[in-house]
């Protein structure tokens, strides 16, 4: 077997090789069915290469669907992935992005074009790409569709209330995903600061110019607040739909309030909900320009296509670091990183082994479905606690000599 392509020349391959070996050990525990096809949605980060390599070795064919934000700004990574044996990369010319896959006929065509008559397939989803079409897929391929795994909370939300006659295993709320969420929040704060400096000559910790708010107090929101405080930002306002998540902030010097108050008082907002953080009526009444950083795509975080379609926002221009929109009352809204997670324009994922925790969980859940090694039922369920402990122990042993 040829050596896997794990990095580009400007990176150390230490963590990449270690990550590949770790994921390979997880995969080698399973004997998958012949002619297995895996449809995998994942970012085009260099740090994703070990995971994609292992999936390509496990499956008879890996159909890789890159998330558009990182595919567009990391074209060299996309080209590298195309070189992997057994890996077929879906490009933008195939008209099979997130919006297109909402159409059941498009999703069916994509799947059918990669199957043989005796193939079975798994969907390893990331962000609910297949959620709108999943009922049609299960009905169309009753003997070939084995099941689905979903990596993120906002993706899982899209699968809720779907009638599933296949197992859907979520890894979005596992405790072992928390370290990667905190790492992501550090990157988002760091690169938001970098974008503000580069494009506007502003610094996050200049209280005279920027008043900062955070919408969403889950793992990512809490991580963003932690790293904002690490930059000596003293005035932070946090909001969440669930008041229980806000109860511990006042004792730690963080103000709590409503989203309405935040839009009135803050001009830099981190949106950390994954699903429609800012209602259109609040944007209609902005009294000043607003900077926004999101932890996931603005399509999900802000429902951006709907805001544009309704006339709430009109795109003015920008570049890959900032996109400017105008509200109905003439205020400017600046989306850092073009409305994607603020670390997507940069090289991320290397030198941090926490990403292999959630990748291992995502892959393990899929392999359990494929081999029927766990008694999964139709419908949504989480990876079991024992499997989560198993991954955590192997990861600690592999990277940190845990005994």
What CATH number does residue 265 fall under?
3.40.50.720
**Taking a C-beta distance cutoff of 8 angstroms, is the pair 171, 153 a contact?**
no
In Å, how far are 103, 183, 238, 351 from 255, measured between CA atoms?
43, 23, 6, 34
pLDDT for 13 equals 66
Q: Which of 339, 363, 390 is the last residue of a domain?
A: 339
Distance CA 41, CA 63 (A): 9
What are the φ and ψ backbone dihedral angles of 361, each rounded to 5 degrees? -65, -45
Tell me the residue range of the domain where 93 lies: 14-173+351-400
Read off the pLDDT of residues 117-129 as tens digits, 9 standing for 90 and up: 999 999 999 999 9
Exposed / middle / buried, residue 287 (Cβ in 10 Å: 0-12, 13-18, 19+): exposed
Decide if 369 is inside a domain: yes
**Do residues 141 and 233 both lie within one domain?**
no
In a domain, 300, yes or no: yes
Site of tokens 């010097």: 253
> Are 204 and 312 in the same domain?
yes
| pTM for the predicted model, two decimal places | 0.88
CB 124 within 8 A of CB 94: no
The answer as to whether 158 is a domain residue is yes
Split into its structural domains, the chain has a count of: 2
Question: Do residues 169 and 185 share a domain?
Answer: no
CATH of the domain at 387: 3.40.50.1480
pLDDT of 348 reads: 57
Residues 153 and 52 in one domain: yes
* CB half-sphere exposure, 382, CA atoms < 13 A: 14
CA end-to-end distance (rounded Å), the chain:
32
Determine the Cα–Cα distance for residues 77 and 100; give it in Å rounded to an integer.
23
- Residue 257 in any domain: the answer is yes
Rounded CA-CA distance 323/327 in Å is 13
Show the tokens assigned to 374: 């766990």
The owner of tokens 């969980």 is 361
Q: Are strands 313-318 and 322-327 parallel, antiparallel or unpaired?
A: antiparallel
| The pair of three-digit structure tokens given for residue 360, joined into one six-digit string | 């291992």
Cβ atoms of 279 and 289 closer than 8 Å: no
Residues 288 and 150 placed together within one structural domain of the fold: no
Domain C-terminal end among 309, 339, 369: 339
Last-in-domain residue among 339, 365, 382: 339
Determine the average pLDDT of the residues in 310-323: 92
Percent of the chain with pLDDT over 70: 93
Q: Do residues 238 and 367 share a domain?
A: no
Query: Is there a domain that residue 186 lies in?
Result: yes
| E-strand stretches of 18-166 | 36-42, 61-66, 87-89, 120-125, 145-150
Please identify which residue in the block is written with the tokens 């932690």: 226
Is the CB of residue 286 less than 8 Å from the CB of residue 332? no
Contact by Cβ (8 Å): 396, 402: yes
pLDDT category at 52 given cuts 50, 70, 90 is very high
Residue 346 lies in a domain: no
- How many angstroms separate the Cα of 365 from the Cα of each of 169, 260, 360, 384, 391? 6, 40, 8, 9, 11
Q: Give the CA distances from residue 167 to residues 138, 213, 297, 379, in Å, rounded to whole numbers and listed in that order.
A: 11, 38, 26, 5
56 and 24 in a single domain? The answer is yes
**Residue 156 resides in a domain:** yes
Closest CA to 339 of 300, 294, 307: 294
84-98 residues labelled b (16+ CB within 10 A) or e (exposed) = beebbbbeeeeebbb
C-alpha distances (whole Å) from 184 to each of 28, 77, 187, 274 are 29, 20, 5, 14
The answer to whether residue 8 sits within a structural domain is no
- Span 80-95, pLDDT tens digits: 889 899 999 997 655 5
* Claim to verify: residue 313 and residue 362 sit in the same structural domain: no
Does residue 9 surpass a pLDDT of 60? no
Q: What is the distance between the alpha carbons of residues 27 and 56, in angstroms, rounded to a whole number?
A: 11
Judge if 37 and 161 occupy the same domain.
yes
Same structural domain, 135 and 235: no
Do 256 and 302 belong to one domain? yes
**In which band, very low, low, confident or very high, does the pLDDT at 347 lie, cut at 50, 70 and 90?**
low
pLDDT value at 362 more than 60: yes
Per-residue pLDDT, 376: 95
Tokens of 369: 């479905």
Question: Are 183 and 199 part of one and the same domain?
Answer: yes
Query: Which band of pLDDT confidence, cut at 50, 70 and 90, is reported for residue 74?
Result: confident
CB atoms within 10 A of CB 117: 6
């Amino acid at each position: 077997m040829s050596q896997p392509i794990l990095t580009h020349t400007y990176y150390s391959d230490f963590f990449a090789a270690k990550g590949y070996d770790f994921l390979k050990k997880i995969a080698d525990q399973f004997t998958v069915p012949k002619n297995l096809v895996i449809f995998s949605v994942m970012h085009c980060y260099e740090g994703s290469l070990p995971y994609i390599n292992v999936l390509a070795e496990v499956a008879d064919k890996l159909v890789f669907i890159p998330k558009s934000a990182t595919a567009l700004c990391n074209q060299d990574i996309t080209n590298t992935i195309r070189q992997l044996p057994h890996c077929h990369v879906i490009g933008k010319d195939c008209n099979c992005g997130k919006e297109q896959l909402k159409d059941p006929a498009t999703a069916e065509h994509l799947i059918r074009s990669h199957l043989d008559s005796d193939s079975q397939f798994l969907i390893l989803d990331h962000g609910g790409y297949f959620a709108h079409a999943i009922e049609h897929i299960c009905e169309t391929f009753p003997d070939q569709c084995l099941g689905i795994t979903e990596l993120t909370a906002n993706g899982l939300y899209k699968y809720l209330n779907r009638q599933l006659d296949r197992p859907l295993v979520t890894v979005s709320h596992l405790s072992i995903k928390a370290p990667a969420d905190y790492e992501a929040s550090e990157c988002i704060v760091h690169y938001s600061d970098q974008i503000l400096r580069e494009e506007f000559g502003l610094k996050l910790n200049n209280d005279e110019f920027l008043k900062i708010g955070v919408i969403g107090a889950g793992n990512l929101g809490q991580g963003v607040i932690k790293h904002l405080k690490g930059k000596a930002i003293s005035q932070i306002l946090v909001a969440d739909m669930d008041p229980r998540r806000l109860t511990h902030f006042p004792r730690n010097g963080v103000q709590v309030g409503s989203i309405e108050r935040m839009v009135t008082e803050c001009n830099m907002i981190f949106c950390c909900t994954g699903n429609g953080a800012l209602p259109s009526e609040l944007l209609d009444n902005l009294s000043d320009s607003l900077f926004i950083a999101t932890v996931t795509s603005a399509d999900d975080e802000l429902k951006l296509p709907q805001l544009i379609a309704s006339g709430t926002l009109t795109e003015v221009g920008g570049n890959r670091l900032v996109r400017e929109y105008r509200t109905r009352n003439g205020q400017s809204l600046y989306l850092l990183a073009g409305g994607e997670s603020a670390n997507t324009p940069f090289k991320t994922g290397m030198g941090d082994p926490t990403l292999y925790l959630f990748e291992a969980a995502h892959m393990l859940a899929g392999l359990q479905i494929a081999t029927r090694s766990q008694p999964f039922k139709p419908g949504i369920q989480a990876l079991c606690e024992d499997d989560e402990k198993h991954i955590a122990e192997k990861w600690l042993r592999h990277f940190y000599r845990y005994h």
